[in-house]
Amino acid sequence: MARTENDIAIVGFAQGDMVRRSQKTETEMMLPVVAEAIASVGLTKSDIGFTVSGSCDYLSGQAFSFVSNVDAYGAWPPINESHVEMDGAWALYEAFVRLMQGDIDTALAAGVGKNSNSDASTLYTIEMDPYYLTPLGADPWSLAALQARALLDSGKATERDFAEVVSRNRANAKSNPKAQVSGDFDIDELLAADYIRNPLRRHDLPPTTDGCAAIILARGKKAYDLCERPAWITGIDHRIEAHLPTMRADITRSVSTALAAAGAGVKNGPIDVAEIYAPFSFQELIIREALELDASTEINPSGGALATNPVMVSGLIRMGEAANQIIKNGKRRTLAHATSGPCLQQNLVAVLEGDE
Amino acid sequence: MSHQPVAVVGIGQTHHKRLRADVSITGLVREAAQRALEDANMDWSDIDAVVLGKAPDLFEGVMKPEMFLADALGAVNKPMFRVHTAGSVGGSTGIVGSHLVGSGRHKRVLSIAFEKQSEGNAQFALGGGKGASIGAGGAFAPFIRAYIRRSGAPEDIGWQVAVKDRLNGAKNPYAHLKLADITIDKVKESPMMWDPLHFLESCPSSDGACAVIFTDEDGGKAASKPPAWVLATAMKSEPSTFAGRDPVSPAAAHDCSDEIYKAIGVTNPAEQIDCAELYVPFSWYEPMWLEAHDIAAPGDGWKMTANGDTALGGSFPINMSGGVLSSNPIGASGLLRFAEAALQVRGQAGEHQVGGAKLALAQAYGANAQFFAMWAVGSSLNPLG
């Protein structure tokens, strides 16, 4: 299909080192990644029409943490800029909508997460409803375990299925130079491990990662100027569900993913590769069911969030990996998924396409 | 592709107070949203997407509160988006919401911004959550002193702004501070906070929320009350500090208004624009923004204040609502500016209405006077004729 000036594509992607603990500030982590993404498409910072990032004050441990991150853009003369307290995948969404205004033709979307600064098991309790859930002190592992238990009870999956997800993702991660955790894991050995939160074992959990990524978007003809084979965003949508898991009709199903997939037009054709952001192993099964992918779709060749999980960046990395499948690997149609909140509360789905 | 027309058809805000102990965070945002829906003659089910803005999560101690507020804001199964651009966030929240309609992605979008400052300690959070904060006044006072030295403005300009905005606020039923008996002497005699800023030249700390509903051209034309048309939007940022920067009259502030003026064909803002809501948390920012947005020539902003031009009955009224000096739920303060500008061109501003306002400007700024969000709204799509 011929592309028009209304079409927007991913044309460049860069990600920094993904490590258990970085000694750098968020700004220091961002600067080389932003510079690499811009240079990768032959541009300089002054060429970028709009810049937006996703990060979280509570992860970095201070209010207004994103303010100094503006230094990573070299924002002088002043730039068109915004920030979301969301995963960088949603920063990309804002950039996508901003490009649709039609007055600019390039944008940069970044995500940065310094997850090592905090203890996830205590920090994420304050992401919950402050009146009903935070006082319970329910950490994300416990909430995920309740969701996993519901999935087992539904009969749709077994603990062996969870381990299969882990084994496959971490084997895939062997070919990902950024992977923090990778290797060949025997499913029976995985199943012999102790529970962290029954029925979840340590390997069902993502690693803690500090990291940063950045994506360059371009609109219309500009995309071809910057990239031989742009990854056109032919559909992108995101939806949220009720916060309290008990208020959702069935937490073994991801209604918001299914709605976002419909909005993004996933079923308009076969998906060659899907990059799914499932922080916990079993959540990949729930997302796959919601996306209704068939057996021909390759899942998470990067190793997914079980290989690296810089929260606030992981969704954006899925976008970059899915785009690279088109830009570098010649795939025709790929999918990127991002999630946020307890028990997959909020989900984003994007469909990317290369030209025939 | 061109930007499609966007109309503001619903505006709602809470009664802003130091402590809204009668409502939870949930109740606070619903109060504003419900009023906006009533104003737009809409129901929750009419809204296609929700954009939520607020300043740092450390203010209330709830991380990413839009997650738990999704239910209360009717966002379940819909897109919910969260913006955070420091003090300018309320403005950015309006702009992002308007773009969702302008790009054709959605027909009706609710932008909502809030802060419930009584839940935490804003001074602590303003210091980056590290304690020993000098507060926003302490951060801005050096810029203000530099402005006074540069412009030669007399010392009473700040007091005049403080009185004028509070008298406007006394006319606004939603304002936190209603100081109808405020005088220049009272401002001058109030405790010195951050030289030259006295206590009464400083913004309050408020609980409050503001909601704005956007729709497309057809929706705007079919609205039961007159719409405000979003004519232009801009967001500009520059670094916090470096030797080449002028924090008194930031380049990003000039760029932001330049872009707006160009977009709508304004060549003489003081003549062509009817009124403006500018983010003035400390009195002296009124003349400073008049200059940084090229409404007054460099060094002349204070003269507009001294002449009474910026008063409600003046030639270029500023902060008809009472401004940030009268109500300051930080995350919502920017959207309140944007909403008041829209109320003015809709002719819905009640006692603080500027007669015949057709074109209004709104601005919000944040962090170290480095983030700027601005929009211009009109009573029609072509208010300059």
**Structural domain contains residue A127:** no
Residue of B nearest to A59 (CA): B63
Residues A155-177 have a mean pLDDT of 98
**A147 with A253, same domain?**
yes
Q: Do B70 and A124 touch (CB under 8 A)?
A: no
Q: Which chain B residues touch A70 with a CB distance below 8 Å?
A: 237-240, 370
**A179 with A38, same domain?**
no
List, for residues B168-184, the tens digit of each pLDDT value: 999 999 999 999 999 99
- Domain locations in chain B? 6-122+205-222
Residue of B nearest to A63 (CA): B128
| First and final C-alpha spacing in chain B | 24
* CA proximity to B383, closest of B251, B288, B265: B265
Cβ-Cβ pairs closer than 8 A, A with B, add up to 186
Residue of B nearest to A84 (CA): B83
Q: What is the pTM of this model?
A: 0.98
Q: Last residue of a domain, which of A229, A263, A293?
A: A229
Residue with tokens 């008041």: B340
Give, for B286, the enclosing helix (H) or strand (E): helix B285-292
**A146 with A249, same domain?**
yes
What is the pLDDT, as a whole number, of residue A62? 86
What is the pLDDT, as a whole number, of residue B93? 98
CA gap A276, A165 in Å, rounded:
12
**Structural domain contains residue A88:** yes
**Structural domain contains residue A323:** yes
For residue B131, what pLDDT band results from cuts at 50, 70 and 90? low
**Structural domain contains residue A126:** no
For residue A121, what pLDDT band results from cuts at 50, 70 and 90? confident
Cβ of residue B23 closer than 8 Å to a chain A Cβ: no
Q: Do A94 and B126 touch (CB under 8 A)?
A: no
Provide the strand spans (E) within chain A. Answer: 8-15, 50-54, 81-84, 106-114, 195-197, 200-201, 210-219, 231-240, 273-275, 298-299, 333-340, 346-353
**A54 with A152, same domain?**
no
**A148 with A104, same domain?**
no
**Structural domain contains residue A202:** yes
The shortest C-alpha distance from A83 to chain B (Å) reads: 6
**Mean pLDDT over each residue of chain B, to the nearest integer:** 96
Whether the CB-CB separation of A310 and A210 falls below 8 Å is answered with yes
Q: Do A67 and B368 touch (CB under 8 A)?
A: yes
Q: Do B1 and A6 touch (CB under 8 A)?
A: yes
Percentages of chain B per state (helix, strand, coil), in multiples of 5: 40, 20, 40
- Coil/strand/helix, residue B214: strand
Whether the CB-CB separation of A8 and A96 falls below 8 Å is answered with yes
**Structural domain contains residue A2:** no
**A67 with A168, same domain?**
no
Residues A222-250 have a mean pLDDT of 97
pLDDT above 70 (res B132): no
What is the pLDDT, as a whole number, of residue B1? 38
**Structural domain contains residue A309:** yes
* DSSP 8-state code for residue A158: -
Chain B contact probe: residue of A51, A69, A101 with most B CBs at under 10 A: A101
Architecture of the domain made up of B6-122+205-222: 3-Layer(aba) Sandwich (3.40)
What is the pLDDT, as a whole number, of residue A320? 98
Q: Which chain A residues touch B63 with a CB distance below 8 Å?
A: 56, 58, 123-124, 126-127
Q: Which chain A residues touch B375 with a CB distance below 8 Å?
A: none
**A320 with A256, same domain?**
yes
What is the pLDDT, as a whole number, of residue A18? 98
Closest CB from B125, B236, B250 relative to A80 = B236
pLDDT above 90 (res B289): yes
Q: Do A67 and B130 touch (CB under 8 A)?
A: no
For residue B358, what pLDDT band results from cuts at 50, 70 and 90? very high
**A314 with A296, same domain?**
yes
**A292 with A327, same domain?**
yes
Q: Do B96 and A82 touch (CB under 8 A)?
A: yes
Tally the C-alpha atoms within 13 A of residue B333's C-alpha that lie toward its C-beta.
Answer: 32
**A44 with A164, same domain?**
no
> B80 φ, ψ to 5°?
-130, 130
Cβ of residue B368 closer than 8 Å to a chain A Cβ: yes
CA gap B9, B225 in Å, rounded:
7
Q: Do A241 and B99 touch (CB under 8 A)?
A: no
Q: How is B13-63 classified by DSSP, letter by letter?
A: EPPPBS--TTS-HHHHHHHHHHHHHHHHT--GGG--EEEEE-S-GGGTT-S
Domain hosting residue A39, numbered range: 8-119+208-229
Residue count of chain B: 385
Closest CB from B26, B67, B128 relative to A345 = B67
Within a 10 A sphere around the Cβ of B295, how many other Cβ atoms? 26
List, for residues B213-229, the tens digit of each pLDDT value: 999 999 999 999 999 99
Q: How many domains does chain A have?
A: 2
Q: Do B67 and A342 touch (CB under 8 A)?
A: yes
Q: Residue A92's domain is classified under what CATH number? A: 3.40.47.10
The shortest C-alpha distance from A86 to chain B (Å) reads: 7
List, for residues B245-260, the tens digit of each pLDDT value: 999 999 999 999 999 9
CA gap B208, B114 in Å, rounded:
6
**A222 with A327, same domain?**
no
List, for residues B80-126, the tens digit of each pLDDT value: 999 999 999 999 999 999 999 999 999 999 999 999 999 988 777 77
**Structural domain contains residue A129:** no
What is the pLDDT, as a whole number, of residue B70? 97
**A198 with A331, same domain?**
yes
List, for residues A262-298, the tens digit of each pLDDT value: 999 999 999 999 999 999 999 999 999 999 999 999 9
Percent of chain A, pLDDT > 70? 100
The shortest C-alpha distance from B103 to chain A (Å) reads: 6
- Both tokens assigned to A229: 């084979």
List, for residues A12-66, the tens digit of each pLDDT value: 999 999 999 999 999 999 999 999 999 999 999 999 999 999 999 999 888 899 9
Cβ of residue B192 closer than 8 Å to a chain A Cβ: no
The shortest C-alpha distance from A297 to chain B (Å) reads: 26
What is the pLDDT, as a whole number, of residue B126? 76
- Residue B225: beta bridge partners? none
Q: Which chain A residues touch B99 with a CB distance below 8 Å?
A: 97-98, 100-101
What is the pLDDT, as a whole number, of residue B134? 78
Q: Which chain B residues touch A140 with a CB distance below 8 Å?
A: none
Closest CB from B57, B76, B238 relative to A75 = B238
